[in-house]
Structure 1
């Protein structure tokens, strides 16, 4: 019986031709390269988003500065519109008292513009960032010595529709006794001939326990035309302050 020699595979050495790779990943990147590529893509997207945001901020700032210049020019010529003095009288336009009150008045209005109010032809408008039911929105405006906005002309309607940018905003129009006797809360006389309802509105739909629709809003349908809605449902809102007010 022959003596067993060493295991046939014990000293076997496998040689590969030069240049041949044992493992071939082909075109697939290594995990570290994939992570790096993802991070670079995310970084580029973040930079593009930041650039877009900065551009938007710059545009809004430029528009605000232009509005401030217009407001300042009109406010500086406000002698006849200034509120009366403590005794109820109006001083001559060249008196130091009127000059000081004009500066104070100008400062208050410009401060209002700086806090997010929009200026338009002698009035400033606040477009809210959060939502409230109609009556709470009304109280907010009163707390700012303003009113939920009335709409007195086509020009004002177009301004509000443009600035609302397709949103739903309460305005200061309510139907007090369910008989289509609409009224503006700031005392402006409501005129059906000078209203801007969307087709088929107001329709006073019934919302069950929440009640019928009895408050008006700027509505995206019809490019900012009016719609009646339930007063208890929260929406954005618009306040208005008259430049000649206190």
Structure 2
């Protein structure tokens, strides 16, 4: 007995087009997964925005404190008795002298707004990019400053703390008479008032690169000094005194 072949309509598979609301892009996750991912991303962006806002507020508050301290310092020293660029003129000085003071105060306040840090009548700049020592010094000179000198324990402690474990060029170099150490800003170098790490300076010879004739704040022993080859690249610290023009 011959079996009857299946009816034509039994073999026909009717395929309906998918509903437009259900069409997904290739590789797209299911709707529930997309909702979860979107929620996570939104929450993450919220956290980032809150953290960024908190950081900006902290920087603003610190900047305002620095500005107030700088103004107070300018008032305290006789060469800068004008606390406010828009304040009244001193009757005993000429308009041109008052204008020069206003311009100088404006430069200080601008420097603080650009990331310089105020401390004890001076402002410091901690760079982020690395350069050889000579280029770092040139960068400081471009901003009417010098690679920083360090002439007291208080200043050493402040800079070591602000360095936060990093290595930074400072303005000490062995280019004086007979290879003696000197500060490029003209400060007097004193071995008794120096802060070298144990065993430093050791003047290691780097062959074709020469010896170690430049100093840096180094992570070892809480930012004590290390001598290094001047051709190597590190970030640096500039310093300006409030008495500088």
Please give the TM-score of this superposition, normalised by the length of structure 1: 0.78
Report Cα offsets for 1:92-111 as digits up to 9, x if no partner. Answer: 98324454443232112112
> Which residue is 1:132 aligned to?
131
Among residues 93, 100, 106, which one is paired with 1:95 in the alignment?
93
Check the 8 A contact 1:76/1:102 in 2, yes or no.
no
> Which residue is 1:111 aligned to?
110
> Which residue is 2:68 aligned to?
69
> Which residue is 2:142 aligned to?
143
Give 1:9 deviation, angstroms.
Answer: 11
Check the 8 A contact 2:200/2:227 in 1, yes or no.
yes
Q: After alignment, is 102-111 or 181-190 more displaced?
A: 102-111
Cα–Cα, structure 1 residues 177 and 244, in superposed 2: closer, same or farther, change >3 Å?
A: closer
Of the two, which has the highest radius of gyration?
1
| Equivalences for residues 43-58 of structure 1 within 5 A | 43-58=42-57
Check the 8 A contact 1:79/1:102 in 2, yes or no.
no
Check the 8 A contact 1:169/1:219 in 2, yes or no.
yes
Is 1:239 aligned to 2:233, yes or no?
no
C-alpha separation between the residues in 2 aligned to 1:119 and 1:137? 20
Give 1:146 deviation, angstroms.
Answer: 1.1
C-alpha separation between the residues in 2 aligned to 1:81 and 1:8? 106
| Equivalences for residues 165-244 of structure 1 within 5 A | 165-176=164-175, 181-244=180-243
> Which residue is 1:87 aligned to?
none
Give ranges in structure 1 of 5+ residues lacking alignment.
13-29, 83-91
Segments ≥4 residues shifted beyond 4 Å: 7-12, 177-180
Please give the TM-score of this superposition, normalised by the length of structure 2: 0.79
Task: Tell me the C-alpha RMSD between the 2 structures.
Answer: 2.7
C-alpha separation between the residues in 2 aligned to 1:191 and 1:93? 43
Check the 8 A contact 2:203/2:213 in 1, yes or no.
yes
Check the 8 A contact 2:176/2:182 in 1, yes or no.
no
Report Cα offsets for 1:141-193 as digits up to 9, x if no partner. Answer: 11222111100101111111122122111000011269662111111111111
> Which residue is 2:2 aligned to?
4
